[in-house]
Amino acid sequence: MIRYPITRAKLDAEITAKSATWFADTAAVVASLPATPASSDFKPLWSKVKEVYIELQHSKCCFCEKPLEGNIEQDVEHFRPKAEVRSWKKIPAELVAEGVVVNQPADGSAEDGYTQLPYHPFNYAMSCKTCNSTFKGNLFPIEGTRDSANSDSAAMDGEKPLLIYPLGSIDADPESLIEFDALSPVPKKATGYGRRRALVTISLFRLDDAKKRKSLFKARATLVRLLYAELEGVANASTAAKKAKHQKVVDLLVSPETPFSNCLRSFARLYGSDPVRAEAIADECIKFMKTKSG
Ligand SMILES: [Zn+2]
C-alpha cells in the first residue's frame, strides 16, 4: 500500500467537474434514507465519480497495488461499510498472539453500517475484486468505539480502525506502517497500534500469502527483478549517459504510477543498504516468475 495524496478541496472539485450536481444528489439520498437502510437503499451514484479515483490511484488497487484495467475490474470500495458491519469471525491466531483485539459484539452479530458515509469522498477507494469482494466485504475491524452515526470520516480516529485508508492525509501514510521484506509486506513498527494495523491489513487481504495471492507474488517478483537489473545498470554504467538511462527507469519503477510501489521502494532501499541480500532476493525472484499465476 501507498498513500495517494489529495486535499479534500481538490477531490471535491474533481468530483464536481465530473458531475456538477453530485453533492446535492447524494445529500438528497442520505436525507431520505429509512431508519434502518438496506444496501439497496443507497443509489450507486459513486459510479458517476469512479474515474476520479481511478486516476488518483493510477488505476491500482488501494490495498494490493495490482494494476486494474478499465472500469470493470475495479470496485468502488466503501472503506467504512454503508449498510452493515459484519463481525470478523475467524481472526487468525497469529494476530491474537500479537495482541490484536477487535471491538465487536461477542455474539457475532452484525453492527449498524455507516449510513452517513456512503457518499463521503474520503470513504471511497478503488479496489480489485479479490481485495474488496473476496476478502473485505462488509468487514471493518476497529479497536476503539464504533462511531457509525458520524458524518465525517476525517474525524473518526476514536474508532482506532485496524485497516488503513490510503487517500489524502486523513490517516497515517501506509508506507509509515507497512514495508516489504523481499516480496512480502511486513509491519514497519516493532510494537503498538501502528504495528497491529499493519498486521491486520496484511492478514485480512492475504498480502503476504504466496499461495492465495500467487499472481501478486509473481508480478512483484517480475518488477523487483527488473528493478535490480536497472539498479545494477546504474552502479556499473561505463558512461554518464548510460547511467542516466538506467536511472530514468529506476525512477519510473519506484514512482507511484508503477504497480507495487511500496515493494519496489523497499527493495531499492535494501539495494542501498545490503546489496548482497538484494542480489539473493533478485535471484529468488526468478522462481516466482516461473510460477503459474492461478
Ligand atoms: Zn487488491
CA distance 81 to 153: 12
Q: What is the pLDDT of residues 233-257, one digit of tens each?
A: 999 999 999 999 999 999 999 999 9
CA distance 122 to 52: 12
- For residue 33, the CA-to-ligand 1 centroid distance in Å is 31
CA distance 267 to 152: 37
pLDDT of res. 293: 61
DSSP category for residue 136: I
- For residue 196, the CA-to-ligand 1 centroid distance in Å is 20
- For residue 116, the CA-to-ligand 1 centroid distance in Å is 26
- For residue 161, the CA-to-ligand 1 centroid distance in Å is 19
**Residue 277 confidence class, pLDDT cut points 50, 70, 90:** very high
Handedness of CA 207, 208, 214, 220 (dihedral sign): positive
Q: Which of 80, 68, 62 is nearest to 174 (CA)?
A: 62
- For residue 242, the CA-to-ligand 1 centroid distance in Å is 36
Q: Which long-range contacts (CB under 8 A, 24 or more apart) does 213-217 make?
A: 213/64, 213/130, 214/291, 214/292, 214/293, 214/294, 215/66, 215/293, 215/294, 216/64, 216/66, 216/260, 217/183, 217/288, 217/291
pLDDT of res. 40: 87
Average pLDDT in the 22-38 region?
91
Q: What is the pLDDT of residues 120-152, one digit of tens each?
A: 999 999 999 999 999 999 999 999 999 999 999
- For residue 207, the CA-to-ligand 1 centroid distance in Å is 9
- For residue 28, the CA-to-ligand 1 centroid distance in Å is 32
- For residue 239, the CA-to-ligand 1 centroid distance in Å is 40
- For residue 65, the CA-to-ligand 1 centroid distance in Å is 6
3-state secondary structure of 179: strand
Q: What is the pLDDT of residues 152-194, one digit of tens each?
A: 988 999 999 999 999 999 999 999 999 999 999 999 999 999 9
Handedness of CA 211, 215, 217, 221 (dihedral sign): positive
